[in-house]
Amino acid sequence: MGNKYCRAAAVILMSIIVFGLIGCDSEKRKDKKDIKLGFLVDALWEERWKRDIDLFTESAQAQGAHVYVKSASGQNDLQIKLAMDMIKEGLDVLVVVPSSSKSAKCIVDLAHKRGVKVIAYDRMIRDCELDYYVSFDSRKVGELQAQYLVERYPKGNYILVGGSEEDDNAKLLWEGQHKILDPYIKRGDIKIVSEKWTENWNPIVAYENVNQALNENKKDITAILASNDGCAWTAFQALSEHKLAGKVGLTGQDADIAACQRIVEGTQSMTVYKPIKKLTSKAAEIAVMLAKGEEAPANTKLNNGFCEVPSFLIDPVCVDKSNIDEVVIADGWQKKGEVYLNVMD
């Protein structure tokens, strides 16, 4: 009789162990499920966004995630549609470079209805319960640009080439720029003869605005504060047509190859280098953590008009001819042979 109970107990015990192992194995499979990340960018007009996509994808794949990429070509409505399509693919996390900081609220709302978390990348998404924000300190970028100019051109006529009015970052840049410029403007040392937004960061719009300002002021321009290197490129074209290239201060942002070449050639004063590798690797790390249900690290919180958003901000670096080798080239962002292509013997 005892043996009978012992055998029954043994069977029960084995069943518990087997089902326990199955349960553990099931949990492991659940933990090891494929992580699906979406990376939805505004447009690919600027050189840097292709690099962002490649570096983010590389970093995410190294952590075992699959990455799905789409570009909205600068169109708000198209970006929302693409987001809907991507969300339906069963994403865990959607990383968005918003075409419009306000319109992208719809993307966050749609994603949350499907249980998909959203990270705003490089540009804030406003007025929604955003999960996370990863970017550079855009006010600091604007301060670096303006500070560089006022130290070298403390008096004269300035043209300000803003970014897209739909981009929250462009407004932060403007705030940083004016923090430095306003005391000079109030003293009458600097006069802003033209200050316009650049719709969708379109370089052609920037060219038209700069060219118009040059004509209206009879070429009497001391410096052009261009908010990024794409706008600086067409500002340089307009300056060249007026035979002013290299004679007028010119800023930028992103350390594009063409901008770096202009800097060593002497036709662009500076750019702001934002270490994209740090940004993409941090964004990929955070996306994977959120996909796993883990709490991601933050070094600050920023208000987007609805809530305090956990954020991770990376410091930008001012770059000109004096430190381009030590910063941009040494970091592997651009190759020395390409940067100095037009000035090498």
* Torsion of Cα atoms, 98 then 100 then 101 then 107, to 10°: -60
CA atoms within 13 Å, Cβ hemisphere of 226 = 34
Largest CA distance in the chain: 111
CB 180 within 8 A of CB 150: yes
Report the alpha-carbon distance of residue 80 to residue 193 in Å, rounded.
Answer: 37
Stated as kind and residue range, the H or E segment containing 122 is none
Report the alpha-carbon distance of residue 337 to residue 319 in Å, rounded.
Answer: 18
Q: What is the pLDDT of residue 145?
A: 98
Question: 23-37, 127-141, 190-204, 299-313: which range is least confident on average?
Answer: 23-37
pLDDT tens digits along 221-276: 999 999 999 999 999 999 999 999 999 999 999 999 999 999 999 999 999 999 98
Give the model's confidence band at 167: pLDDT under 50 very low, under 70 low, under 90 confident, else very high.
Answer: confident
- CA-to-CA dists, residue 331 to 138, 265, 277, 327, angstroms: 21, 21, 9, 6
Average pLDDT of the residues of the chain: 89
Query: Residue 8 contacts by C-beta under 8 Å, 6 or more apart in sequence?
Result: none
- What are 194's two structure tokens? 């033209």
Q: What is the pLDDT of residue 345?
A: 58
Which has more pLDDT, 11 or 315?
Answer: 315
Report the alpha-carbon distance of residue 238 to residue 264 in Å, rounded.
Answer: 19
CA nearest to 328, candidates 230, 255, 258, 250: 255
pLDDT tens digits along 16-53: 444 344 444 434 333 446 899 999 998 887 778 898 99
Q: What is the pLDDT of residue 294?
A: 94
Ramachandran quadrant class, 201 (left: phi over 0; alpha: psi -120 to 50; beta: rest): left
CB 259 within 8 A of CB 252: yes
pLDDT tens digits along 170-210: 999 999 999 999 999 999 999 999 999 999 889 999 999 99
Report the alpha-carbon distance of residue 71 to residue 81 in Å, rounded.
Answer: 11
